[in-house]
Amino acid sequence: MTATAAPTGRSVSVRVPATSANLGPGFDTLGLALSLYDDLEVTTSERPGARVEIHGVGEGEVPTDEHNLVVRTIAFTFERYGVQLPGLDLVAHNRIPHGRGLGSSGAAIVAGIMAAKGLLDGIVDIDSNALLALASELEGHPDNVAPALFGGLTIAWTSDKGPQHKKLMVHRGVSPLICVPEKTMSTELARSLRPVTVPHEDAAFNVSRSALLIAALIQSPELLHDATEDKLHQSYRASAMPETVGLVEELRSHGLAAVVSGAGPSVLVLCSDPAQRLEAAQVVANHGGSPWQALMLAVDFKGATVNVHPAKS
């Protein structure tokens, strides 16, 4: 280990977008960055330990010390590069809902890695491949962290060289609508409901729809309804989130490309244009049962950003 340390008083500002993974057929592969953000400011301190101030989502719920996920990620990154961890003061303004299938844990991990990158500026160079590798190691899979890091539509996979990604630009007509329920959903529970094996014809079905979905998102939004059909994961998880499935089914009955967002229970509607999104929002508003918060979001094309502020003398 080296005695190198980040300058005391150095501050970084980080912004990380929400994400929606799977997008229907692209299970554990496709992800989309959305214009809903967590903003953080992290400052190094001579005082040991970590002090975290949370505003917005998670306030009064998430840890405010060294057990905080962002802080743990910063510590992990510093240790990986053999740099002494300073004291940390962190202020977070969180807007990404927790436990709703919008990549909140992935966003926290990406925020910590980006904060570490900024705090280590001039000491260690962490390139995009290293960012994805670190985030995937902590998250367990790259489908949420890739779009959070790089923005846009991402295809993520793992090779013998580690996690990889390809970023694609989305057709300007694509207009996402996110429907957020009051209830949360455990990602671990959602994953446990998947079968160990699936029928060959279902796998082939999803391969065709995933290929079509790429074409629909980057070139032909009018194909989004057909392209978002899925037989690999959503039906197996239906019993754990009946209200989500009910909303998805109603939206799809109106010809709208609705899917479960990530592990759920939020619903993502990939509309072909802003007018269709207004139609989708009206269907959600008229839907019976528990209320849904409908968010009209844009596709985020920048991904996570970090700005470094020099240490104050």
**Helical H segments across the chain, by residue range:** 69-80, 104-119, 128-139, 145-150, 187-192, 200-218, 224-227, 242-253, 274-286
Kindly report the backbone phi and psi dihedral angles of residue 153, in degrees, each rounded to the nearest multiple of 5, phi listed first.
Answer: -95, 130
Residue 308 token pair = 């470094």
Any known ligand binding at 107? Answer: yes
Which candidate, 281, 292, 268, 261, places its Cα nearest to that of 21?
261
Any known ligand binding at 72? Answer: no
Q: Which residue has the tokens 């968010």?
A: 295
For residue 189, count other CB atoms closer than 10 A to its CB.
13
For residue 236, count other CB atoms closer than 10 A to its CB.
15
Question: How buried is residue 188: exposed, middle or buried, by Cβ count under 10 Å (0-12/13-18/19+)?
Answer: exposed
Any known ligand binding at 102? Answer: yes
Distance CA 260, CA 242 (A): 11
Any known ligand binding at 97? Answer: yes
Any known ligand binding at 103? Answer: yes
DSSP state of 84: B
Any known ligand binding at 287? Answer: no
- DSSP assignment of 85-127, as one string? --EEEEEEEE-SPTTSSS-HHHHHHHHHHHHHHHHTTTT----
Any known ligand binding at 104? Answer: yes
Any known ligand binding at 106? Answer: yes
206 contacts 25 by C-beta, under 8 angstroms: yes
Any known ligand binding at 261? Answer: no
Distance CA 287, CA 150 (A): 35
Residues that constitute the known binding site for ATP? 97-107
Residues that constitute the known binding site? 97-107
